[in-house]
């Protein structure tokens, strides 16, 4: 090395030294995992490593060929953004808040209902509700929850509480659930209407999955690979349907199916309306005429949803169904979108196309599996930071200012056949 080069190298030592990041990784294992998760897909990968495959597949899987889930994910890749003036946006505070049924919340995100949540983590719905409360977004407790109506309402600083209802064959028991939810301060009722029977969950069948678990010899190796999950399970209360007792024999899933009412008629929305005096949202709508009918029967809102692809396979993508539903209900009801939301940009696209807010399920369950309550909060933060960044790039300083001219949605190419893992776009190849 020439003397001149050596002198230059010596002078540059402080500069090179300043570029070195010598910080030690976090000592807490959850912090280490979450620190590597920048996206919901990162949380999904972390979750898969944390829990046994049958549990992960129960959360991650969908019905049949999983085409409905794939289409819902793929639809967001067909969004074209149309930014406006972006000058001076870097120093602007972006208002992500939105008003939903008369209450202001931090952003247009609702943690949707998921059953048997304590399978993902022993803190289950309690962890999700606490994370929602700290983030300023609503949480929807499911009928087949593993923490009770009263337990969730009793946490410190609860979120805006919503309750999801399956109308049971026993109408008296259904009414009891409604009265208890109302007495405990649940503000919004979400009536699910797309579940006359359980979906064809092929991953669960292949895994021999049941609730509560019946571990086959082949599954013991899977369990042994996840000692942390096993320790949590054996040192916590047994899994149960916490909001109501069930009479009869068999496991919880069989007993739940035995009391579910597969003959629930759509017009009975009017009966639920009579029984509930707060905001009523009907979930599981993909058709504009049905959305209008639900509103005419008394609904204050509808959720455009294919149940995360877990019920009927090969449905239309929810983002494709959103526009016609918004046009059909007009100003008479709020419209929410569920299924396929994985990015802050997805939230912005749904709102621009007419949604009041979006519901998510799998994203926060991935966070729950990866890191408990902190993982759920991390998932919410991924949506918050992504939405903030996306609006700045669009040149929009408030969610309320998002309009249809900010995005366009290309037609779906998936018109005749289902999507398979090999033919799907890169974004959705990981659903299987």
Residues with Cβ within 8 Å of 106's Cβ and at least 6 positions away in sequence, in order, are 96, 97, 135, 136, 137, 384
Spatial contact of 319 and 337, defined as CB atoms under 8 Å apart: yes
DSSP, collapsed to helix, strand or coil, labels residue 409 as strand
Provide DSSP, 74-86: HHGGGEEE-----
- The closest of 291, 322, 270 to 76, measured between CA atoms, is 322
Task: Check 121, 226, 307, 378 and give the catalytic one.
Answer: 307
SS3 of 329-395: HHHHCEEEEECCCCCHHHHHHHHHCCCCEEEECHHHHHHHHHHHHHHHHHHHHHHHHHHHHHHHHHC
Read off φ and ψ for residue 95, nearest 5 degrees.
-85, 105
Q: CA-CA distance, 337 to 349, in Å (whole number)?
A: 11
CA atoms within 13 A on the CB side of 290: 17
Active site residue 307: yes
Specify the DSSP element, H or E, that contains 105. Answer: strand 103-105
DSSP, collapsed to helix, strand or coil, labels residue 109 as strand
Give catalytic residues, as residue numbers. Answer: 307
């Amino acid at each position: 090395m020439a003397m001149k080069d050596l002198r230059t190298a010596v002078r540059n030592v402080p500069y090179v030294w300043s570029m070195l990041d010598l910080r030690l990784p976090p000592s807490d294992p959850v912090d280490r995992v979450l620190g590597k998760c920048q996206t919901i897909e990162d949380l999904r990968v972390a979750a898969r490593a944390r829990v046994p495959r049958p549990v992960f597949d129960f959360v991650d899987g969908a019905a049949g060929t999983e085409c409905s889930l794939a289409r819902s994910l793929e639809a967001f890749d067909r969004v074209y953004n149309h930014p406006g003036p972006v000058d001076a946006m870097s120093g602007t505070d972006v208002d992500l808040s939105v008003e939903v049924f008369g209450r202001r919340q931090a952003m247009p995100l609702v943690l949707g209902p998921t059953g048997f949540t304590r399978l993902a983590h022993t803190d289950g719905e309690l962890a999700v509700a606490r994370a929602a409360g700290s983030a300023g977004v609503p949480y929807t407790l499911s009928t087949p929850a593993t923490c009770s109506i009263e337990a969730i309402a009793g946490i410190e600083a609860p979120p805006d509480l919503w309750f999801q209802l399956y109308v049971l064959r026993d109408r008296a028991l259904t009414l009891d659930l409604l009265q208890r939810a109302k007495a405990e301060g649940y503000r919004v009722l979400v009536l699910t209407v797309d579940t006359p029977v359980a979906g064809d969950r092929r991953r669960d069948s292949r895994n021999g999955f049941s609730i509560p678990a019946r571990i086959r010899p082949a599954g013991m190796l899977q369990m042994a690979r996840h000692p942390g999950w096993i320790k949590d399970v054996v040192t916590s209360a047994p899994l149960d349907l916490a909001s109501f007792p069930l009479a009869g024999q068999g496991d919880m899933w069989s007993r739940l199916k035995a009391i579910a009412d597969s003959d629930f008629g759509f017009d009975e929305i009017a009966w639920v309306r009579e029984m509930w005096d707060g905001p009523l949202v009907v979930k599981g709508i993909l058709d504009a005429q049905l959305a209008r009918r639900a509103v005419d029967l008394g609904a204050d809102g509808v959720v455009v949803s294919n149940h995360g692809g877990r019920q009927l396979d090969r449905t239309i993508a929810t983002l494709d169904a959103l526009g016609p539903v918004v046009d059909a209900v007009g100003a008479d009801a709020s419209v929410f979108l569920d299924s396929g939301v994985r990015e802050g940009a997805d939230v912005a696209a749904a709102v621009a196309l007419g949604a009041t807010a979006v519901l998510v399920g799998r994203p926060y369950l991935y966070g729950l599996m990866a890191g408990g309550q902190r993982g759920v909060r991390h998932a919410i933060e991924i949506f918050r930071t992504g939405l903030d960044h996306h609006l700045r790039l669009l040149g929009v300083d408030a969610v309320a200012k998002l309009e249809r001219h900010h995005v366009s949605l290309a037609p779906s190419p998936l018109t005749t056949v289902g999507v398979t893992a090999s033919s799907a776009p890169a974004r959705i190849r990981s659903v299987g």
